[in-house]
Structure 1
Amino acid sequence: MSDLVPERSASGHSAAAPDRAAAAARIELERLWEQGTRFLGTRHAILGGAMSWVSERNLVSAISNAGGFGVIACGAMGPDLLAKEIAATRALTDKPFGVNLITMHPQLGDLIRVCIEHQVGHVVLAGGIPPGAAVRAIKDGGAKVVAFAPALVLAKRLARTGADALVIEGAEAGGHIGPVSLTVLAQEILPHIRDVPVFVAGGLGRGDAILGMLEMGAAGAQLGTRFAASAESIAHPRFKQAFIQASARDAMPSVQLDERFPVIPVRGLVNDGTRRFLVHQGETLRRFQSGELSKEAAQLEIEHFWAGALRRAVIDGDVDGGSVMAGQSVGMVSSIQPIPEIIAELVEQAVQVLAARAARYGA
């Protein structure tokens, strides 16, 4: 009969106890993000942020195959190219994935049509307030609408006017950002939006941080920076190496020198390009004040500085002069990991916190 008695440690606890605690913690995690997993149709409520030049078929399918939810970054693609990318992604995964569309795209209607024709289940509308016609077209086509909400008043409006889920993204994120941190947005929005899933984004790099947001009411989390430096990412090796070497303090938003010439804030790694951008703004301002440039021409000079800069960094590996967009979670990127390993690590970090808490309080 002795072989039926559970082995006990020196403290008197069963050796099976940690396994039971971990299993219970996983069940609790599944409960916490059930609203998100049910909405996405995934095992884990973890979305891949849509990153231009990075979030293409390879990365998107890898995230979905690992139990998360990959999202194609349509960016400036036309309808034909988007159709090919959706088909190529579907050839690599039979799991759910979405498509991110920019609301200001001149062919937005045609891009929505492509998504519907290819039976994309979730369409993310980014870059501005989603037009009502676009929301209706997506929903009439049988897909779900995901929209970004930078404030509570807009979150309520979007949920009321057709958004099936929301993303709140803090200023800690990489790329184009708003002015408010995720910790503040979460406190402002999560307690008041319950009818639709709300996913959080911006500066998230660990599973315990995601857990904290889930316990505040989030349905799941969106990550970009960690996935951009993954093994499956097509980003240039120098781009990934820049992430590994960077700290959180290296990911800074672009600076605006003169309020008359707005600069859309973009968070990226400080490099020679960002320093030259400041010089370029100063020189353009001088030419405007001397009458050499009109206000409109000066604004275009400033906006065109970064034209093609993201592609140069991601694809060509120009991490000195290109735009190396990265969130502040870049400081948590210490190696190039496969996507399944990243997602498993995030889940395990959340599970460990839940298990330790249960052990501490005897639950």
Structure 2
Amino acid sequence: MAEGAEALLPTDVPAPAYAALDRLMARGSAFFGCRYALMGGAMSWVSERNLVAALSNAGAFGVIACGAMDPARLEAEIAGTKALTQKPFGVNLITMHPQLLDLVQVCLAANVTHIVFAGGIPPGPALRAAKDGGAKVVCFTPALALGKKLVRSGADALVIEGSEAGGHIGPVSLNVLAQEILPHLRDVPVFVAGGIGRGEAILSYLEMGAAGAQLGTRFVTATESIAHPRFKQAFIRGNARDAVPTLQIDERFPVIPVRALVNEGTKRFMAHQAAMLAKFQSGELTKEAAQLEIEHFWAGALRRAVIDGDVESGSVMAGQSVGMVTREAPAAEIVAELIGQAAAALAARMATAA
């Protein structure tokens, strides 16, 4: 009997198109042990047990965003997720976390099948511990050379994420990364991420050689997401042009680019940078103190937005696909919509070829 998203797929798409899509997704689906090679993007405060379990139950692959959790908190989150799903799911760990090795051990003790290292190159001991413990390791790469190095170091799969994504971003679009990397890196499954909002786009990357896709922004407004109603409404109202990276006003004070919806907070951040620059130039603050003040501006801002619903001064991290978020819907319905769109596009192509 069909379950999850499979039960909600459009019935007007011919079965051969779904079968052809299954073949294109086969490598990614087998890697994650799920029905569809769709990986949930790990979004702090959003990708917790409820959304993660809902995605896995829908046939996709949910991923817990560990973020700044301590080992005890992560252990509880994994247990909570297992109480909601019997399907496989993963855990995303930030490589700069001071307790990274302990977090890896928490995942292994709980028999988490996949560990995703994000935020930088994973330290050798952490990667080896994950592998030795039996977990599959997924890493992010912004370039072909680094991707090959990560594979040599033991990565079982890679994610290439374009600058269209929400949250912390790199400088290169997914369109370019896919062309640079997918034709030349076939040793392990490679998943694409950044700005993906429709099934037709997923299909195009699968045909280029991707094993599957990671989506975050599309799932923020899932019914199961615990994000505050005002946070979800900001996504539903938002357009692609509203999701912009934070800017720095002086190269001496670098700002890590974060893509989020423009609000009063982003405007005040620019004024805050200018004020700290003035204090540095007047000698009131040292360079280090001014940098720290700039970095602390957004402390707790994501939680304020996601959990408390402060979408004016909080950080509303969103990818450029936010314009394709039009309603709140169950995770299974969103997954079915994406798969249906991809299969419909394949069906149209197959009909033309015939």
TM bucket normalised to smaller: over 0.9
Map residues 261-272 of structure 1 onto 2, 5 A cutoff.
Answer: 261-272=253-264
Partner of 1:217: 209
Q: CA deviation at 1:337?
A: 1.0
Task: Trace 1:1-363 onto structure 2 (pairs within 5 A).
Answer: 22-362=14-354
Amino acid paired to 1:325 = M
Cα gap change, 1:21 to 1:341, in 2 (>3 Å): closer
For residues 58 and 22 of structure 1, what CA distance do their matches in structure 2 show? 33
Query: 1:20 deviation in Å?
Result: 9.7
Contact 1:21 1:359 in 2 (8 A): no
Higher-Rg member (1/2): 1
Q: Is the contact made by 2:13 and 2:343 (CA closer than 8 Å) also made in structure 1?
A: no
Secondary structure at the aligned position of 1:317 is classed as: coil
Q: Does structure 2 conserve the Cα–Cα contact (< 8 Å) formed by 1:135 and 1:162?
A: yes
More RCO (CA 8 Å, sep 6+): 2
1:160 CA displacement: 1.2
The whole-number CA distance in structure 1 between the counterparts of 2:252 and 2:31 is 43
Q: Distance in 2 between matches of 1:361 and 1:186?
A: 26
Determine the C-alpha separation between the residues in 1 that align with 2:72 and 2:39.
25
Read off the aligned partner of 2:157 and give its amino acid letter: A
Deviations along 1:282-328, one digit per CA (max 9) or x if unpaired, are 01000000100001000000000000000000000000000000000
The letter for the 1-side match of 2:155 is A
SS in 2 for 1:191: coil
Cα drift, residue 211 of structure 1: 0.3
Q: Deviation string for 1:105-164 (max 9, x for gaps)?
A: 000010000000000000000011111111100000000100000111101111111000
Structure 1 CA distance for aligned equivalents of residues 182 and 285 of structure 2: 47
Partner of 2:6: none
- Distance in 2 (CA, whole Å) between partners of 1:43 and 1:115 is 23
Aligned to 1:279, the other structure's residue is in SS state helix
Q: Between the two proteins, what is the percent identity of the paired residues?
A: 72
Matched residue type, 1:244: I
The unaligned stretches of length 5 or more in structure 1 are 1-17
Deviations 1:206-257 (A, max 9, x none): 0000000000000000000011111110000000000011100000000010
SS in 2 for 1:287: helix
8 Å Cα contact 1:71/1:97 also seen in 2? yes
Residue 4 of structure 2: aligned partner: none
Q: How many residues align?
A: 345
Q: For 2:46 and 2:263, locate their aligned partners in 1 and report how far apart those are by CA, in whole Å.
A: 20
Q: 1:328 is aligned with what amino acid? A: Q
Gaps of 5+ in 2: 1-9
Please give the alpha-carbon distance, in whole angstroms, between the structure 1 residues aligned to 2:349 and 2:245: 37
8 Å contact from structure 2 (residues 163, 169) kept in 1: yes
Q: Is the 8 A contact 1:243 1:333 kept in 2?
A: yes
Tell me, yes or no, if the aligned pair for 1:229 and 1:243 is still in contact at 8 Å: yes
Distance 1:333 1:88 in 2: 28
> CA-to-partner distance for each residue in 1:149-195, whole Å, 9 max, x for gaps?
01111011111110000000000000000000000000000001111
Q: 1:86, 1:171 → 2: CA distance? A: 29
Whole-angstrom CA distance in 2 between matches of 1:309 and 1:80: 23
Q: Are the counterparts in 1 of residues 54 and 62 from structure 2 also a CA contact under 8 Å?
A: yes
Q: TM-score, normalised by structure 1?
A: 0.94
Name the stretch that deviates more: 155-164 or 19-28: 19-28
Superposed displacement of residue 21, structure 1: 6.7
- TM-score by length of structure 2 reads 0.96
Local SS of the residue matching 1:336: coil
- SS at structure 2 position matched to 1:221: strand
User: Is the 2:93–2:115 Cα contact (8 Å) retained in structure 1?
Assistant: yes
Per-residue deviation at 1:19?
7.5
Q: Distance in 2 between matches of 1:226 and 1:113?
A: 31
Q: Do the aligned partners of 2:13 and 2:340 also contact (CA within 8 Å) in 1?
A: no
